[in-house]
């Protein structure tokens, strides 16, 4: 499983980046296998019009993403989402109400001794109904909890698949396209953030790489939801 599958997207059309391995002949006839990422739209022919024709080297992209990631959020503490179950006794209350109606119907017209037995049962059901009805209902929810572990610490201790899961769970997105000179380009496709809301944007090793964080994480990392500078934004050609 490649590190950036479902994390990296084409910067021009928004399709997920696909991976391929290419063998290269080296000295003494050895063949080395390199991981490449390319636009999934072009490679799958679902968006053959995308202009991102060239692939990028996986090892180089991984290194850039790791450097940007740790620079932006390495010192931050990881938060995890905890699901909180809802509270509702509605089904049990409905059953008790039905049971109470049945007891009342059965007790009608009974003799004194039998009526006393039914009265105790009816009282017990009424008490339980009152107790359950007094408990407020609560919808299922989620809450954020601190983990006591920083992103840099988790990253250093994790293998590649665990790192990928950390990126996905944190909502981190990377947009990449091969860059052969000229202005940086970001497509105007639908994305969770504004096209110019990347917290980091760089061109190096023949690649244009933009990193996006969820708004809450971006604000924790930078103090504002976007940290692309005016100079960087002026170089973007959507």
| pTM confidence score | 0.71
Could you state, in order of their start, the residue ranges of all structural domains in the chain?
A: 8-78+148-234, 86-133
Helix axes 112-133, 90-107, angle to 10 degrees: 160
Give ∠ CA 78-84-90 in degrees, rounded to 5.
170
What's the pLDDT tens digit per position in 185-208?
Answer: 888 888 887 767 788 899 999 999
Confidence bin at 227 (pLDDT 50/70/90): low
Q: Could you tell me which residue, 180 or 63, shows the higher pLDDT?
A: 63
Q: What is the pLDDT of residues 123-171, one digit of tens each?
A: 999 999 999 999 999 999 988 888 999 999 999 999 999 999 999 999 9
State the Cα torsion 112-118-119-121 to the nearest 10°: 160
| pLDDT tier at 40, thresholds 50, 70, 90 | very high
């Amino acid at each position: 499983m490649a590190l950036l599958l479902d994390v990296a997207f084409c910067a021009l059309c928004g399709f997920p980046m696909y991976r391929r391995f290419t063998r290269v002949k080296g000295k003494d006839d050895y063949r080395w296998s390199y991981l490449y990422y390319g636009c999934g739209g072009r490679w799958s022919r679902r968006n053959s019009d995308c202009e991102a024709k060239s692939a990028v080297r996986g090892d180089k992209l991984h290194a850039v993403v790791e450097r940007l990631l740790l620079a932006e959020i390495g010192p931050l503490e990881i938060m995890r989402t905890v699901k909180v179950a809802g509270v509702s006794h509605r089904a049990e209350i409905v059953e008790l109400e039905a049971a109470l109606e049945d007891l009342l119907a059965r007790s009608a017209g009974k003799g004194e001794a039998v009526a006393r037995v039914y009265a105790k049962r009816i009282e017990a059901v009424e008490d339980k109904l009152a107790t359950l009805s007094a408990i407020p209902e609560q919808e299922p929810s989620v809450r954020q909890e601190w983990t006591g572990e920083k992103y840099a610490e988790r990253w250093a201790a994790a293998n590649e698949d665990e790192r990928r899961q950390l990126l996905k769970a944190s909502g981190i997105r990377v947009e990449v396209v091969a860059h052969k000179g000229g202005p940086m380009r970001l497509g105007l496709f639908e994305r969770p953030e504004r096209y110019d809301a990347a917290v980091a944007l760089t061109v190096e090793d023949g690649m244009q790489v933009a990193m996006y964080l969820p708004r809450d994480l971006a604000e924790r990392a930078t103090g504002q939801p976007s940290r692309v500078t005016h100079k960087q934004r002026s170089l973007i050609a959507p």
